[in-house]
Homo-oligomer: A and B are copies of this chain.
Amino acid sequence: MSETQQTIGEYLIQALYSRGARHIFGVPGDYVLGFYHILNQSNKLKIINTCDEQGAGFAADAYARVNGLGAVCITYCVGGFKVVNPTAQAFAEKSPLVVISGAPGIKERKKNDLLHHKVRNYDTQLEIFKQITVDSILINDTTTAVQGIDRVLSSVLRYKRPAYIELPRDMASVPIFTPQKQQHQKKQLQQQADSSSPNETMMEIGSISDLTSLHEALSEATAMINSSDKPVIVVGIEIHRFGLQEKLLQLIDKTKIPFVSTVLSKSVINEDHPSFLGVYEGAMGYESVREYVESSDCLILLGALMTDINFAISSTPIEQSRSIYVTSEKLSIKHHNFENIFLHDFINGLIEAPLARRDFITMRKASNNKVLSLAATSKKITAQRLFEILNFSIITNKTIVIADVGDSLFGALDLKIHGQTEFLSPAYYCSMGFAVPASIGAQLANPRLRPVVIVGDGAFQMTGMEISTIARFNLNPVIIVLNNGGYGTERPMLDGPFNDILRWHYSQIAQLIGRGKGFVIETEKQFEQVLSEVERKYSKELCILDVRLDPLDGSQALKRLTEALAKNVRKNA
């Protein structure tokens, strides 16, 4: 087929493929069926159709985080509105997600006032997505479609935030418009894109920092760091999103300045690194890490989002007058701001700067010195013991831990992660139900890693049926359900019958869907044994572990956090 015959649908697929996507998640519907057909025929992006669009959104978000670009494709309104929440999450936590929605044809919109699925106006969905994306386009014009698609995808890669593409069903099969003189250029760009891996593309940020500002900021930062006694680097999530891990390692190795991660950025830099102090979690974390960070006289926050979960719930929060705070969106030193400086330029600048090398004496490691390899007993299992046992068994450099919100996340912060970015959680946006569908996206993006999903029963009841999708695509996560009969994170704040849910027999899901292996766990010993079976005997299978916990049980981290949150609920009530 010659290039001029390529359709808009085919061009969109090619554009995603050339930027590193190999899968696309979604649920078909009549307004998007034509595009699904094109997808299916193109054989470029494998269609992963999930049970519900919400699951597709979460799976695509996880895929985007691991792969560098992800896409979800749904039908108009009844599908699109179900991915508003996952898209909002991708926006809040900076995940490069492309939302593609089918829609009524441009021609039929003019003729009919009430085509099915329409809500208020034909633009209602577009207007809603404008609120939660960095860029959006309604493809209603062949002459601008190609440029529009390119622009939207560039925005996603540049800002690491979601964008929205609305593809009316009468546009998907229309040939793209390529003026003669643009064709050669286009072809060259496409060849370049074809040969680049997604991570290389991720760095193609393009614009240049204001060099005078950059120079001034670097001089000031260098002087501030060199004159400090106890500098600490806080590694934020953007280091991962913008692919700056290797750069940051250079900086750390050159200066020997110790570093912490945040809740959201756990494992972005390998937790085995000698300069790693632990995860900084404010009041919820280990005292030693908290104290070290909060008593630092020079905090270098690189790509970290100052969220309440990451930072705020502490009695002695981070002091701005002792901070260098750099993200993709702003650069502040103490109380003044610099404009137009890119995160990667600043980090590169620091690497080149005359920073003194520190004699860092490895401090007592907070995150793994408490977890002793205590032998499993025949006692009833607790949340605390669950995470301790996990730490010495199934979590290896061949797993990726995916924690849902609540104690799944807080307990999991104590897990020692072995590789880089082998921990995923919506730790700022905190939407329940992410973990099970996320395991689909994460494993498809990196088949080398077996997902270990830690999920509360409340979250599992939201999206757990995506186990069906896991089974259909022959994935093999280990899904650990913390079965405590309700919303354990909320009970210590304010309890009532509204926090209760039904206790399912989660292991029976294997019978329901006719696939996988289910286990019931009551004691420490059983947990240890099951983990060993899961690793050896059922290494290729989807495994569901129903861990029976007491409703009022919780990790130590949860207890500390919920006390802090409860104070806020009471104070604000």
A→B interface (CB under 8 Å): 28-30, 33-34, 36-37, 39-40, 47, 49, 51-52, 54, 77-78, 81-82, 84-85, 88-89, 91-92, 105, 107-108, 112-120, 124, 127-128, 131-132, 169-170, 172-173, 305-309, 312, 428-433, 461-465, 468-469, 471-472, 487, 489-490, 493-494, 496-506, 508-509, 511-515, 565, 568-569, 572-573
Contact = CB atoms under 8 A, between A and B. Distances in A.
Q: How many copies does the complex hold?
A: 2
A113 to B, nearest CB: 7
A124 B116 contact: no
A163 B164 CA distance: 26
7 contacts: A39-B498, A49-B498, A91-B119, A116-B308, A116-B309, A502-B513, A505-B514
Nearest 9 A/B pairs, CB to CB: A81-B85, A34-B573, A51-B461, A78-B431, A170-B572, A52-B462, A105-B572, A114-B307, A508-B512
A493 B494 CA distance: 51
A432 B505 contact: no
B84 A494 contact: no
Give the residue among A30, A494, A569 with the most B Cβ atoms within 10 A: A30
Contacts of A113: 306
A366 to B, nearest CB: 23
A565 B431 contact: no
A30 B490 contact: yes
A166 to B, nearest CB: 14
Contacts of A116: 307-309, 428-430
B511 A508 contact: yes
Contacts of A512: 504-506, 508-509, 511-512
Given A77-B88, A124-B132, A512-B512, A468 B117 contact: no
A126 to B, nearest CB: 10
Contacts of A114: 305-308, 428
A466 B494 CA distance: 24
B131 A127 contact: yes
A465 B468 contact: no
Q: Which of A115, A465, A469, A490 neighbours the largest number of chain B CB atoms within 10 Å of its CB?
A: A465
Nearest to A129: B128
Given A108-B572, A172-B573, A503 B514 contact: yes
B170 A471 contact: no
Contacts of A49: 498, 500-501
A323 B170 CA distance: 31
Contacts of A88: 77, 81, 119, 124
A569 B29 CA distance: 11
A120 B91 contact: yes
Contact of A464 (B108, B307, B465, B498): B465
Contacts of A107: 572
Nearest to A80: B85
Contact of A131 (B33, B78, B120, B169): B120
B91 A85 contact: no
A286 B489 CA distance: 55
A462 to B, nearest CB: 4
Nearest to A113: B306
Nearest to A487: B28
Nearest to A34: B573
A465 to B, nearest CB: 6
A572 B34 contact: yes
A336 B455 CA distance: 60
A432 B487 CA distance: 27
A508 B516 CA distance: 15
Given A33-B490, A107-B572, 10 more contacts: A29-B490, A47-B498, A52-B54, A81-B84, A112-B312, A114-B305, A119-B132, A468-B504, A471-B502, A508-B508
